[in-house]
Chain A
Amino acid sequence: MLDWGWLADHLPALAYRTGQHLYLTSIAMAVGLAISLALGTAAARRRRLYSPIGIVAGLLFTIPSLALFAALVPIVGLNLLTAEIPLVLYTLVILFRNVVAGFDAVPADVHEAADAQAVVGLARLLRVDLPLATPLIVAGIRVATVSTIGLVTITATLGDAFGGLGFFIFEGARRSFPTEIYAGALPVILLALALDRLFAWLGDRLTPWSRASTAEATSAPWREEAGAA
């Protein structure tokens, strides 16, 4: 079965690779989120931007990640950018759509009331549009994070300097050493599931108003009006 001795010996390496995995993921998510918020805000206002960006996004998905990483080597060399640019692009594909959908999800009557009260500019974005777009945006972050965790494993094709936990999967397969494969594969899967759960919980926490509605709606008694008989 599993070679526990090997595992015990390689704990530092496992820790290092896990850290590397999270590091690569975080950078991609942070950059991806920033860009997609900017692009998404712009596209929500000017619908004409949406189709071209959407089409590019769809095309990107058909390119095998393997190829995208490799394709960047001749362009940027073999460094952090080679790994991060594809990761960020794939993140953008998911997040951009969710950001736009989030803004679209603001109900029409809320828009009308906000217009009528002249809630405009930055106040409108920060106080109305963004908070109400949050559920869908967080849903997008959830999917994108998990997807990125998976894609980081493929950066192992770029060499030993990368790969995060994917390093062990590749090495283990190359040497036909199951323990090493599992040392990489299992944590990746667990990490992905754990982060998925985390963001599901976070999304719930950030939207107290939708939680409130599932609580029983109670109404205080009216003040009865004394009218005509």
Chain B
Amino acid sequence: MNVVGATVGWLSDPANWTGPNGIPTRVGEHTAICLAAMAIALAISLPAGLYTGHTRRWAGLAAGLAVIGRALPSLALIGLVLPITQALDPDRGFSLYPTLIAMVVLAIPPILVNADAGLRAVDADVVEAARGMGHGEAGLLRRVEVPLALPVLLGGIRSAAVQVIATTTLGAIFALGGLGRYIVDGIAQNDDGMLFGGVVLVGGMAMTAEGLLGLLQRVAERRAAARVP
């Protein structure tokens, strides 16, 4: 088919693998943005989720976040933040920051909700036994609760990562780099090869993340199963 041929052609064209608009550059940009968004999201939501899950308080927080998180359209979020950040930094404040912030907001609910839920799901008897053995709160968290809750937690991180990778492409509408560039430019220039090439790259990246984190999740599952008698 036309489209498949164009895509294969575009992907195999060595010219597309060099320069500031080359595939390695864009992949690098995309990865950097996604990693940054994930890192910030993790920094915010992991402590919060571990806290609420461990102490089993603030149950409404996770529930409310889950609801709101799903309901917030990313493009609208980017639009909401854009004028503010643009005023602060005309360049990055237009392209990078709005999308970055929107991706952080996108990633927080899955991570926090799963951290909270994963910890809450740890068998209360196991926790009680560990406390009885003399584990302090921090040690309890580190040695008992987190390892047991890890599969669920990793599931949340995995879900967040895939969503972020796919949705970061929206930033290209606002002159952001990354793989979204190929998609937006492909549309504008009517270049099917570039458009679908971008899609394939994003898809590949998302599936790689999915696969890696899925693997980690399965390893964590086996470890957790081995721990519980």
CB < 8 Å: which of B71, B167, B183, B184 contacts A196?
Answer: B71
- Nearest A residue (CB) for B159: A61
B166 engages A71 (CB within 8 Å): no
A59 interfacial contact with B, CB 8 Å: yes
CA A150 – CA B2 in complex, angstroms? Answer: 31
Q: CB-CB contacts of A173-189 with B at 8 A, as 1s and 0s?
A: 10010100110111011
Flag whether A62 is at the interface (Cβ < 8 A).
Answer: yes
Say yes or no: B72 contacts A70, CB within 8 Å.
no
Residue of A nearest to B184 (CB): A66
Closest to A62 in B: B206
Query: Least Cβ distance of A76 to chain B in Å?
Result: 13
B75 at the interface (CB under 8 A from A): yes
A62 touches B76 (CB 8 A): no
A193-B68 in contact (CB<8A): yes
List the A residue with the shortest CB-CB distance to B206.
A62
Task: Report the contact-size class of chain A (Cβ under 8 Å from the partner).
Answer: 35 or more
CB of B173 within 8 A of CB of A189, answer no
Work out how many contacts link A and B, with CB atoms closer than 8 A.
119
Question: Which residues in chain B, 201-224, are within 8 Å of chain A measured between CB atoms?
Answer: 202-203, 206-207, 210
Whether A64 pairs with B74 at a CB distance below 8 angstroms is: no
Q: Is the CB of A150 within 8 A of B76?
A: yes
Task: Say whether B75 contacts A153, CB under 8 Å.
Answer: yes
Residues in A whose Cβ lies below 8 Å from that of B142? none
Task: Find out whether the CB atom of B83 lies under 8 angstroms from the CB atom of A71.
Answer: no
- Contacts of A195 on B, CB cut-off 8 Å? 71
- Any B CB within 8 A of the CB of A41: no
| One of A67, A172, A173 near B198 (C-beta < 8 A) | A67
Q: Which residues 195-215 of A sit at the B interface, judged by CB distance below 8 A?
A: 195-196, 200
* Residue ID in chain B nearest A179 by CB atoms: B83
A170 B203 Cβ-Cβ under 8 A:
no
| A176 to B170 alpha-carbon distance, docked (Å) | 17
**Bound-state Cα–Cα, A186 to B50, Å:** 32
Question: Judging by beta carbons under 8 Å apart, are A70 and B76 in contact?
Answer: no
Do A62 and B203 have beta carbons less than 8 Å apart? Answer: yes
Instruction: Determine the main DSSP class of A at the interface with B.
Output: helix
- A134 interfacial contact with B, CB 8 Å: no
Report the minimum CB–CB distance from A153 to chain B (whole Å): 4
A157: interface (CB < 8 Å): yes
A63 at the interface (CB under 8 A from B): yes
Of all chain A residues, the one with the shortest Cβ separation from B168 is: A64
* Residues from chain B with Cβ under 8 Å of A185 in the complex: 75-77, 79-80
Contact A62 B166, beta carbon cutoff 8 Å? yes
**Interface presence of B53 (CB below 8 A):** no
Q: Within 8 Å of chain B (Cβ to Cβ): is A101?
A: no
Is there an interface contact between B73 and A62, defined as CB atoms closer than 8 Å?
A: no
B residues in contact with A153, CB < 8 Å: 73, 75-76
Report A57-88 CB contacts with B as 1/0, cut-off 8 Å.
00101111011001100100000000000000
The answer to whether A64 and B180 have CB atoms under 8 Å apart is: yes
Query: Does B79 contact A67, Cβ atoms closer than 8 Å?
Result: no
A interface with B by C-beta (< 8 Å)? 59, 61-64, 66-67, 70-71, 74, 143, 146-147, 149-151, 153-154, 157, 165-166, 169-170, 172-173, 176, 178, 181-182, 184-186, 188-189, 192-193, 195-196, 200
